Structure 1
């Protein structure tokens, strides 16, 4: 009776090289069904093909050998799914970071100057949420705060696009005050929401177009313009979300105004 599939036959069926199969055997990841004690030849069974294919796919996704071993060792389908899902999430996060870096580099390589205008913004009272936030928490905090403002003030009560004010320390120290707000007809206190008086400001303003992955490039170009053409003053960075993720899921249509506080030397 034939002892089973030879390592060469098994390699052809699973698309795992003979060398890889030997390494998996040595690591205790995929052991042959039997090994001839005289010749040392390895033999596999047809039942081992599915787990070998699972290993092949997991390794294509760069799952570490130790994690692959844990996935194969568990008899709990839910735990197995959790292990695989956790690695897939890490891959998706890494892919998102890679895509963001590619977008930013392409933006940097594009020639041309940033269009900037000087604008005087009048004082106004808005419905706002303010808190001290660390930079890693900023995106989550922003989403939660904006959702709270959206719920409190439906679209028909708003008088303009939402905005944000961000203390310089948030970027320089990684910890600072964040304020997000809606201009509304009758701002009032509600939960975390307060009626906030925004002072007048002179700003150098540019528009960032598209997703926010490379917004730092636009910030840099605006800063370079300000250094060359105006005097900066202490104050938070201003952002106005003309079109954003809550308006459309088409990120190429997003438009974000960035305002840098300046001291105006001459009128427009």
Structure 2
């Protein structure tokens, strides 16, 4: 790069002879606005190849177009600017890939939350018929193999998957005597963390690792079945809770879930069946076993 002196004798960088694009031209070919390019320059994310020392005009080279396009794509995915800088400056391809993968996992989790909210809203805005199939059941005391813990609600799915995988490894299908289930203290929902237990009825319950022999007491439950994905299971919970308030006397106690058909049985979510049991007080022995 050559240097010239102005009339006051101050050195200014001369315009390079190599191909260059004005900031407006570069904005056009990269779909990054002039304002955005200026911000990226000021933040050190994408510096021009050359800045006219006299006018302050920014110039870019064709070789910078791929970098700008990478930035554009990453910003479309809402990758934070700090992560983009880490990606662009990393010499290790594995590190770059790890940063991108971590963000993609965050995006996928956000998409799952969005999809779940959309499904729930569709059910709330286009409700099913008002009738809800509910059974009043007395579940006998049982001895099962299970794993218990104090779990945060946001960690519950990961914790459940880990616990069920451990139970499945310890007790093959030939040992199963019924579908798996879970018991969730109200604090899990009311305070965001609480006692959580998942279990499998098996022929010979025995401890191993985190697995313990659990004695489940007898319980009277109002039970309904949630069909399909668990994205909108909260809607079914709400409808069952409303039914209980109207038809029965609720009592303190953990919510029961039984996974009659779940992801471990079939990959088709339409086939999933989750029984939800709400603890109630049976007012009379002659009550019907099913109501609507």
Q: Same fold (TM over 0.5)?
A: yes
What secondary structure does 1:267 align onto? coil
What secondary structure does 2:245 align onto? helix
Q: 1:201 aligns with which of 219, 222, 228?
A: 219
| Equivalences for residues 3-14 of structure 1 within 5 A | 3-14=19-30
Q: 1:210 aligns with which of 223, 228, 238?
A: 228
In structure 2, the partner of 1:267 is 287
Distance 1:133 1:26, change over 3 A: closer
Q: 1:52 aligns with which of 68, 93, 109?
A: 68
Distance 1:183 1:2, change over 3 A: closer
In structure 1, the partner of 2:119 is 103
Matched, 1:79 2:95: yes
Structure 1 segments of 4+ aligned residues over 4 angstroms from their partners: none
- Using the size of structure 2 for normalisation, the TM-score is 0.83
Distance 2:23 2:210 in 1: 66
| Equivalences for residues 1-268 of structure 1 within 5 A | 1=17, 3-111=19-127, 112-113=129-130, 114-265=132-283, 266-268=286-288
Distance 1:233 1:227 in 2: 11
Distance 1:229 1:18 in 2: 65
Q: Gaps spanning 5+ residues in structure 2: where?
A: 1-16
Distance 1:241 1:41, change over 3 A: same
What secondary structure does 1:213 align onto? coil
Q: Mean alpha-carbon deviation: is it higher for 126-135 or for 256-265?
A: 126-135
Summarize deviations over 1:171-190 as a string: whole Å, max 9, x none.
22333322211122222333
Distance 1:38 1:141, change over 3 A: closer
Kept in 2: contact 1:3–1:43 (CA 8 A): no
Distance 1:155 1:138 in 2: 24
Q: How many residues align?
A: 268
- The structure whose residues are more often helix, as a share, is 1
Distance 1:40 1:148, change over 3 A: closer
Q: CA deviation at 1:108?
A: 1.7
Q: CA deviation at 1:48?
A: 0.9
- Using the size of structure 1 for normalisation, the TM-score is 0.89
Q: CA deviation at 1:38?
A: 4.3
Q: Mean alpha-carbon deviation: is it higher for 28-37 or for 2-11?
A: 2-11
Q: CA deviation at 1:222?
A: 0.5
What secondary structure does 2:138 align onto? strand
Q: CA deviation at 1:235?
A: 1.9
